[in-house]
Structure 1
Amino acid sequence: MPRFSLSPRGLLTCLITASLSQAVFASDGPVTPSTQTATLNAAVLQTLPFSDRTDFESVSKGLIAPFKGQIKDAAGKVIWNTHAYDFLASDKAPASVNPSLWRLAQLNAHAGLFEVSPKLYQVRGLDLANMTIIEGDDGLIIIDPLTMAETARAALDLYYANRPHKPVVAVIYSHTHVDHFGGVRGVIDEADVKAGKVKVYAPVGFMEHVMSENVMAGNAMSRRAQYQFGSLLPRSEKGQVDAGLGKSAPSGGTVTLIPPTDLIAEPLETRTIAGLQVEFQLTPGTEAPAEMNLYLPELKALCMAENATQMMHNILTPRGAQVRDAKAWSQYLDASLVRYGDKADVLFAQHNWPTWGGERIRTLLADQRDMYAFINDRTLHLLNQGLTPLEIADTIKKLPGALDQKWYTRGYYGSLSFNTRAVYQRYMGFYDGNPANLNPLPPADTAKRTVEAMGGGAAVLEKMRTAIASADYRWAAQLGNQLLFAEPDNADARKAQAEALEQMGYQSENATWRNMYLTGAMELRNGVPPQSANTVSVDMVRAMSPEMFFDYLAVRLDSDKAVAHDLTLNWTFEDVQKDFNLTLRNGVLTHRAGLNPKAEAGVSLSRDTLEKISLKQLDFPTAMQKGLVKLQGNGQKFALLMGSLDTFGPQFNIVTP
């Protein structure tokens, strides 16, 4: 999953503070479902096996203690509220929600402590992901301690209220997405980790990929994740009903991180943890760049991390990430099927609900293997015939054979449309081969010329309204996008575009597509909301190596400002006795280990001081006055470098230029 919730905006901002002002437009609220939308949604009831209630039996199986209520942070702010989804109680889907998605939303609303099998428990519905708790001989093993420390603590408290109070002796991060590690300080104390009382396991490459995704591209991913998960939408029949993998990410709270003590580096590796054998199966390049499945022989239980959930997953998430390898994904699923298919009595994952019974487990693994293999192979088949990404996406309408009728292959989170384009991108890049697309005009310029060529804004708006009236919402949205990028303050165009997006959102079976459509419509009606509460992770800053810090400085560097100001700078971390030299040349910042004897300036400070500056608890001028930062040589060179750094605004425009 990747996923969005670290909100690393503001990390390492040193000297520059961002300010953000957005226009706010009066809202008349979302539209009602059109007759055509209601008809299309009603027809879904005739195309899928709604009489199959197996998942409703599975999702409630083993319930020990339901959870209904709120979770609050230290300041008393509600960050999780199951009652926000009470509207899902109706068996009949409203016309504003695809019935298939309504069904999933009801399933994901089951929250509480569940016994998966003896010694194996899950807390579900207290966060986007699940927290798995295994009872070992001398303590508890926790797999994936959720997104926030507050939700993780609430999950562990729920377990302790119903089971014997054993200490946590191990935490396992199944992969690198924040909803699978961010709550770790809610379940363990770092002092116990340092004392050797608790071990933290993760796949090799864990820290590198956590930093890459959540810091280097974190600002943009965080903003786009607001669309993907519908975090800004009201929970309602016309708003957010689900996020596919779960209800949503917590709204606020404390993201934490304790670096792993033990890395799993071999393709198959067995460890004894809390008296139990745990076999790890590394699956790099699948749902995350660093990910692993687990098998527990004594319990005959197979944990598929996020590689086999109760739906189609993403080959490329809408929030952004590295493109995943659909072929490798299918091959790892097959390897799991071969190695564990005849040994497992229960398959559980870190989202959704478990699957019990050997035959059902084998069928699920085989079906999901076939699904990802089909997405990969069929896309390659069509691209080798010359079809472009959008043509491929419009050609592959559904999965082949019986796969299309399986609930656990439906596109609730990933989608065929997005996934086929992701496979194309992996093999061919974003360019579709047409020379007209080698160097197109940017969106705003294209829009202005297109609108002019179509007869002006009034003519385009009339065409939009005609398309909406005939339920041609895709075309209406394409027209509206051109008009809004040409005339972003056109209130009538905003309203019409919002209506088209809302109707497509109401029709969508995919939870993330619904959220993205409806979030876009909401921002067209109301403007971009102001920055949400800053949830900069102290642990994320502390976990950054000096090399990662300098890499991020290079990302923040405005090369236009810096291009004529070459310099060399030595940088010393006094407390850890590490030296680096930075070179600014051609508007590019690079770094090396060690000091450069020809450096024009030097700066010395401790890691602690850098962390405080990074978290805006201190600034460089104050630190220098207090003697916490020492400058040598030409101090203006250091000031020039700092003055060339940008701070990224967290709430940039998406549906308007």
Structure 2
Amino acid sequence: MIEEYADRVWRGEMADSIVDNGMDGKGVQTIAGGLGWWPGFGNVITFETEGELLLFDTSSPFSTAKLYEDVRAWSSAPLTSAFFSHGHIDHVFGVAPFEQDRRATVYAHEAVAERFARYVLTNGYNSVINQRQFQAPNLRWPMDYRQPDVSYRDALTVRAGGLTFELFHAKGETDDATVAYVPEHRLLLPGDLFIWVTPNCGNPQKVQRYPREWVHALRRMAALDAEIMLPSHGAPIFGAARIRTALLETAEWLESLVTQTLDLLNAGARLDEIVHTVKPLEHLADRPYLRARYDEPEFIVRNLWRLYGGWYDGNPANLKPASDAAIASAVAGLAGGASALADAALKALADGDERLAGNLAEMAALAAPDDAGVHRVRAEVFSTRARTEQSLMAQSIYTWAAAESAKRA
């Protein structure tokens, strides 16, 4: 029973999040009469009402066929309306198979179309960073997107079939997010504004996120007093008290990072000091929905600096620095060669200072890019770092770096 499954996730007995797809491949799960939940990497919320099929989010280009098959096993009604919670590709690619006989109406925030245009402009970059993030070397970023038919700026109410979709715009992980509330089911659809891990608003390879605005969105959602919440990643939450707790504690956790960062920024601290000073709230550390498994607090701090402080980090040497390779070559010369830096990296790794080991190993490789021995050390350092990190963001970047050097060792 889906309520029992959701209860186990709530109690931390099993994981279902943007990182742990607990019920991926299980097909549409009926939540209530005419309401279904399709779990995957990019959940889809399904509605059958007055002979119409409605979808909130439509998953990724990699699961289009499976989504269509599973939804059709749940309902044969024609798709008349679809809602995009935002423009990330794991939410917007499942409409086409349903439109073979008739075109649906797609609703989204006005910035979704701007996102799609940017994806075309930076197609190569998005291919590279997502290959690295998901360890998918053959991934190619899409060029063609299903454009919304109806867009809005602040809020929009849509009547579809026998249901009401109260939509409002929020900033958080993206600048184009839509939250939906369906009063007939007392249902909250937060999209990616709740993903069963710490908020994804520091992602080091992606465009600007909005942590402070995300806090406001979480509290606005909590005030709706929903009885069911179906995120676009991770398990359902049932019960108004649990929903409010999850949303408000996430807001408290994130607001603390925002406040600490802004206090230090306003005091004139450098980015380096802020990154190594700001800490998440300890009393919320055991919450199953606040584990740093995807993004992490340190990256959120850096994103806040980028949002409020620009790119200059307060270190005058970094305003117009020498190239990384030139600095590495100079340091290697002082140390007695790139191999000496590599040895120092291994010592730091053995001493448990993985951060310093990473710096030294990278310097060694930049100073001697063709030295197989140096690359063996770099591969060892970053593979070790990947194994000891908790967040997917850190794991993926370190794994990619280790693989680069393994090929050259």
Q: Aligned letter for 1:280?
A: L
Partner of 2:132 in structure 1?
227
1:260–1:229 CA distance, 2 compared to 1 (3 A): same
Give CA-to-partner distance per residue, 1:548-595, whole Å, 9 cap, x none: xxxxxxxxxxxxxxxxxxxxxxxxxxxxxxxxxxxxxxxxxxxxxxxx
Contact 1:184 / 1:257 at 8 angstroms: preserved in 2? Answer: no
Give CA-to-partner distance per residue, 1:515-552, whole Å, 9 cap, x none: 2211211121126xxxxxxxxxxxxxxxxxxxxxxxxx
What is the rounded CA distance, in whole Å, between the counterparts of 1:496 and 1:183 in structure 2?
44
What is the rounded CA distance, in whole Å, between the counterparts of 2:113 and 2:150 in structure 1?
12
Q: Aligned letter for 2:205?
A: R
What is the CA distance between 1:479 and its match in structure 2?
A: 0.4
Contact 2:45 / 2:230 at 8 angstroms: preserved in 1? Answer: no
1:201 aligns with 2:107: yes
Contact 1:312 / 1:409 at 8 angstroms: preserved in 2? Answer: yes
* Larger of the two Rg values belongs to structure: 1
Partner of 2:219 in structure 1?
334
Give CA-to-partner distance per residue, 1:384-404, whole Å, 9 cap, x none: 33332232222224x214222
Q: Aligned letter for 1:385?
A: A
Contact 1:100 / 1:509 at 8 angstroms: preserved in 2? Answer: no
- Fraction of identical pairs, as percent: 24
Contact 1:101 / 1:511 at 8 angstroms: preserved in 2? Answer: no
What is the CA distance between 1:318 and its match in structure 2?
A: 2.4
Partner of 1:57 in structure 2?
5
What is the CA distance between 1:430 and its match in structure 2?
A: 1.8
1:103–1:517 CA distance, 2 compared to 1 (3 A): farther
What is the rounded CA distance, in whole Å, between the counterparts of 2:330 and 2:4 in structure 1?
53
What is the rounded CA distance, in whole Å, between the counterparts of 1:406 and 1:117 in structure 2?
27
Contact 1:118 / 1:299 at 8 angstroms: preserved in 2? Answer: no
Q: Aligned letter for 1:223?
A: V
2:93 to 162, 165, 182: 182
- Aligned partner of residue 269 in structure 1, secondary structure: strand
Runs of 4+ deviating beyond 3 Å:
99-107, 250-256
Contact 1:202 / 1:264 at 8 angstroms: preserved in 2? Answer: yes
Give CA-to-partner distance per residue, 1:26-61, whole Å, 9 cap, x none: xxxxxxxxxxxxxxxxxxxxxxxxxxxx99831889
The higher-RCO structure (CA 8 Å, 6+ apart) is 1
1:453–1:106 CA distance, 2 compared to 1 (3 A): closer
What is the rounded CA distance, in whole Å, between the counterparts of 2:141 and 2:70 in structure 1?
18
What is the rounded CA distance, in whole Å, between the counterparts of 2:222 and 2:151 in structure 1?
24
| TM-score using structure 1 length | 0.58
Residues paired across the two proteins, number: 404
| TM-score using structure 2 length | 0.91
- Aligned partner of residue 99 in structure 2, secondary structure: coil
1:140 aligns with 2:16: no
Partner of 2:323 in structure 1?
442
Q: Aligned letter for 1:58?
A: A
1:361 aligns with 2:247: no
- Aligned partner of residue 292 in structure 1, secondary structure: strand
What is the rounded CA distance, in whole Å, between the counterparts of 2:204 and 2:315 in structure 1?
24
What is the rounded CA distance, in whole Å, between the counterparts of 1:169 and 1:453 in structure 2?
68
1:288 aligns with 2:174: yes
Partner of 1:408 in structure 2?
289
Partner of 1:264 in structure 2?
152
What is the rounded CA distance, in whole Å, between the counterparts of 2:115 and 2:260 in structure 1?
30
Greater helix share, structure number: 2
- Unaligned runs of 5+ residues in structure 2 are none
1:119 aligns with 2:40: no
Partner of 1:156 in structure 2?
68
Q: Aligned letter for 1:216?
A: L
- Aligned partner of residue 122 in structure 1, secondary structure: strand
2:164 to 234, 258, 277: 277
2:42 to 129, 140, 153: 129
What is the rounded CA distance, in whole Å, between the counterparts of 2:406 and 2:363 in structure 1?
17
What is the rounded CA distance, in whole Å, between the counterparts of 2:127 and 2:286 in structure 1?
34
1:485–1:56 CA distance, 2 compared to 1 (3 A): farther
1:506–1:103 CA distance, 2 compared to 1 (3 A): farther
What is the rounded CA distance, in whole Å, between the counterparts of 1:453 and 1:102 in structure 2?
49
What is the rounded CA distance, in whole Å, between the counterparts of 1:153 and 1:292 in structure 2?
25
Contact 2:124 / 2:141 at 8 angstroms: preserved in 1? Answer: no
Q: Aligned letter for 2:67?
A: A
Give CA-to-partner distance per residue, 1:254-276, whole Å, 9 cap, x none: 775221111123x2321101221
Partner of 2:367 in structure 1?
486
